[in-house]
Amino acid sequence: MDASIDLRKTSTGILWTSYVVSAIPVAMMIFSAVLKFFPSVVADGFNQLGWPVRLAPILGVIELACVIVYLYPRTAVLGAILVAGYLGGATATHVRVGDGFFFAPFLLGVLAWLGLWLREPRLKALLPFRS
């Protein structure tokens, strides 16, 4: 890592903002994952998207695993990659069937990365916004 990278602590306001931004995709993914353990609840949606309902619990476990890895600070970057991959698949599924709801998983993925970027100085050094 470049010695000129500033790894000072993130301000309290930015830190809390990052938690709120990150909480949105986390809460939505936990809610979605829990629903997948009740296949009768998600059967219509799965059929509409072309997914077999028998895969719902497996996808729920994968979704929860991605969130857990994201929430643990030492693995948060890996978690963000996993969350983005999972939500990218959800976005592609919605686009494939012509569902206008595709923007929701895309936006959740962006919020997951934004929340992490706001609180992780090393990520800011890796992905800087130029002024």
Angle value at C-alpha 99, between 95 and 103, nearest 5 degrees: 70
Q: The dihedral of CA 19, 64, 76, 109: what is its sign?
A: negative
Cα–Cα distances in Å, from 126 out to 6, 48, 109, 129? 12, 40, 18, 10
Q: Is the pLDDT of residue 4 over 50?
A: no
Q: Is the pLDDT of residue 62 over 50?
A: yes
> What's the whole-model pTM score?
0.87
pLDDT in tens, 39-48: 999 999 999 9
Chain centroid, CA 94 distance in Å = 16
State the pLDDT confidence band at 19, using cuts at 50, 70 and 90: very high
State the pLDDT confidence band at 2, using cuts at 50, 70 and 90: very low
70, 26 in Cβ contact below 8 A? yes
Instruction: Give the pLDDT score at 8.
Output: 61
Mean pLDDT, the chain, rounded, equals: 92
Q: Structural domain boundaries of the chain?
A: 12-123
Chain centroid, CA 29 distance in Å = 7
pLDDT in tens, 79-89: 999 999 999 99
State the pLDDT confidence band at 21, using cuts at 50, 70 and 90: very high
63, 86 in Cβ contact below 8 A? yes
